[in-house]
Chain A
Amino acid sequence: MSQVPSDLKYAKSHEWVRVTGDTATVGITDHAQHELTDIVFVELPAVGRKLAAGEACAVVESVKTASDIYSPVSGEVVEVNKAAADNPGLVNTEPFAGGWFFKIKLSNAAELNALLTPENYKAQIGG
């Protein structure tokens, strides 16, 4: 059974969002890392890049395939997780902690309301 922490918001495309003040941390869910398995490469957006909600901005690669990661919210990338780029296995072992992808300064906080609640996300993944 995949973990779905109750203090996060979720995108249909399997990213999670943790909001602290005006900044959101983004990663991929336990369900997503489990589906991908064996993550061997993580490509992160450049710091300073402005993203629109739903924009493809990172790539996660398993042995078998490359998958796009979409920003759940709009804003400017203020920090990326170099540790995950150096050790992509972190995304498998700690998807909600050490395996985060990037932090984004929100340009439209209202977008958060459009994201899934933990309950809705659980329902989507059949959990």
Chain B
Amino acid sequence: MALTNEHIKQRLIEKFDTQVSSFEEPYGMLTFEAPKDMNLKVLNFLYDDAELKFRFMTDLTAVHYPDQPGRELAVVYHLHNLEDNIRIRFKVFTDINKPDVYTATALFSAANWMERETYDFYGVNFIGHPNLKRILNVDEMDYFPLRKQYPLEDQSRVDKDDEMFGRGGTLGFGTEKTQHGTITEMEKNDVGDEIV
């Protein structure tokens, strides 16, 4: 019998009662959450259970929700049961001031770098990780760049000389010009008029 989302949900509720919550099925994928200190228990159950057999970790990442005090960071696991070919998504939420989550490296070797990446970009501290250091960014970096408080560069900034890239400056590459560039041109013209 192939597994169904409904059945997985029942099994989880039988085992963990009210501790697993927020069951949803966005675009057909069963999604649920658990308290963060339960993450290994849930992952272990999903892995070991003779019926569920979620033994392939497809993906691990984090999402930052600055508007949810106390649960700003979500660590998201995508698991796959290759035999029955069904995927689920499992989330744990954590406080951004104390982003400690147990590591899944003992269960999945694949989690090693994915957790390092998650630490690198979101600062999630995976307790028990064998080598938790930055992986894509430089070691000296002192912030976690994918958090929402770090906006991308403002396209209309003026302190940067990127004339050669078609933005701002006086060369004016047609449509590439920013609003700032246009205003400067207008101001120049105004000044010119006054002199005349």
Are A and B interaction partners? no
